[in-house]
Structure 1
Amino acid sequence: MKTNTILIIGVLSVILLAIGYTLVGTESPETYLETVEKERERQYKFIRFNIESPLTDEQKRNFGKLIYFPIDPDYKVRARMVPLENKKMVELPMTDGSMEKYLQHSYAEFELKGESIKLLLLQSQKDPDRRNFFLAFADATSGEETYGGGRYINLRQDGKNSITIDFNLAYNPYCAYNPDYACPLPPRENVLEIPIFAGEKDYKKDEGGRIREEG
């Protein structure tokens, strides 16, 4: 069974975003919308055409589009990084029952829609850049509007003790498209009771909540 370590798409994504993605408050609303749309277009092209895409050849032939919540700038936040005193490796359960190791690095603390939130930031053993982080989370939309196994965001530290988190860039793991892939599930610290109405929706559901036909 194939294993999604998020490096194929993840490393490319954080590099592109580090080059073209400006910090909160330093860009116009129009520029911000264009930036998110360009990233979504890049994601679409990767899923639709790239040889490393999780889609089967048949899925690619019948592929329509990725479905997202409307872009909401309020879901782009500046978080304070609180490093863990005792950083340690943790095994995250995968969707196929196996385990994959990540380093527990720090917590990201921020306010979102009037809620105080703290999420665990992880680092992959396979990524040599120590400023890159992996955020896997689930929320009240998981299993409804969004994929039940949670969603991911690739992050890059952009301040001494801070990091920008944009939930508009949340994307589905490979296993949301193809069950032959195994993907890490969000740690319990990152299971939110509130809904995150931002980012990618479930691959197999349209905007009305109906299962999309792929044939």
Structure 2
Amino acid sequence: MADVLVRNNASAIAPRGMWILGMLLLCTGLAFAGCGNQQSEKSYADRITQERVSRDMEMRGDRSVIPAKQRKSFRGLQYYDIDSTYRFVRPVDRPATPDTVRMAQSTGGVADQLRVGTVAIPFPQRGDTLAVFEVTEGEERGQWWIPFTDETNGGTTYKLGRYVDVEKMDGDSVIVDFNTAYNPTCAYNPRFACPIPPEENALAFDVPVGEQKPLF
């Protein structure tokens, strides 16, 4: 009878016990997922921070683009806080043949730039489409990049705009991370001729991530 009683009681509580067990496993799984997301976010932030430190060291070194007389007064690179909502994985809309466009330069001239397509970005404020260009010479040949302006220019960021490099993925997808947006070289040395972002890449809202204007 004891065995029967135990079996009967076990049968009676099985659905409730299994439900509790299931909920515990679900909660545990969510906890681990949360830890994984936290770890992923931390790794991402650490990587961005390390890239910023490396760039700051380059700016202070002997091969810096900053004129030697100004390096002592350079106060280091300034950045917004890292915000992963400004990191996007998006497809690129590419024409059959890339366009060569004339882009104004900071020194007053113009130069040819290879326009390889456009990418639609779902910014937190609203969606917008930006033109993507390709470097055609030098050490960075083949690199895709986006020159852009936004409403922070002339305030917390460089007046002529900023650039963001585009990371190519398999197929036609790319990573566009505005946390890595940086100032053109002319922001640190006006002797450099830097492409000025075209009108089609003018954003009518703030992009409060990436590099801010330099301080001396």
| TM band (smaller chain) | 0.7 to 0.9
Q: CA RMSD in A?
A: 2.0
Q: Deviations over 1:11-48 (max 9, x none)?
A: xxxxxxxxxxxxxx8x7010001000011011101111
Q: Counterparts of 1:95-114 in structure 2 under 5 Å? A: 95-114=106-125
CA contact (8 A) 2:135 2:141 kept: no
SS at match of 2:43: helix
Following the alignment from structure 1 to structure 2, what is the Cα–Cα distance between the partners of residues 195 and 47?
26
Choose between structure 1 and 2: higher strand proportion: 1
Deviation at 1:73, TM superposition (A): 0.8
Q: Verify the 8 A CA contact 1:131 1:157 in the aligned structure 2.
A: no
Unaligned runs of 5+ in 2: 1-36
Deviations 1:43-73 (A, max 9, x none): 101111041x221112212222111111111
Give the % identical residues.
Answer: 28
* Number of the residue aligned with 1:35: 47
Instruction: Give the corresponding residue for 1:208.
Output: none
Comparing both chains, which one has the higher relative contact order based on Cα–Cα distances under 8 Å and sequence gaps of 6 or more?
1
Q: Which amino acid aligns with 1:107?
A: T
> Quick one: structure 1 residues 84 and 147, their matched pair in 2 at CA, closer, same or farther if it must change by over 3 Å?
same
DSSP-derived class of the 1:39 partner: helix
Residue identity in the other structure for 1:185: I
Secondary structure at 2:94 match in 1? strand
What SS does structure 1 have at the residue aligned with 2:70? helix
User: Normalising to structure 1: TM-score of the pair?
Assistant: 0.78
Confirm whether residue 45 of structure 1 aligns to residue 57 of structure 2.
Answer: yes
SS at match of 2:98: strand
> Structure 2 vs 1, CA of residues 114 and 57 (structure 1 numbering), >3 Å: closer, same or farther?
closer
Tell me the equivalent position of 1:59.
70
With structure 2 as the length reference, what TM-score do the two structures score? Answer: 0.77
Counterpart AA for 1:77: F
Query: Based on CA coordinates, which of the two structures has the bigger radius of gyration?
Result: 2
How many equivalent residue pairs?
180
Aligned partner (choices 194, 199, 206) of residue 210 of structure 2: 199
Structure 1 spans left out of the alignment, 5+ residues: 1-24, 205-213
Counterpart-to-counterpart distance in 2, 1:149 and 1:126: 23
Question: Which segments of structure 1 move beyond 6 Å, counting only runs of 4 or more?
Answer: none
Q: How does 1:1-215 map to 2 (within 5 A)?
A: 28-51=40-63, 53-126=64-137, 132-204=143-215, 214=216
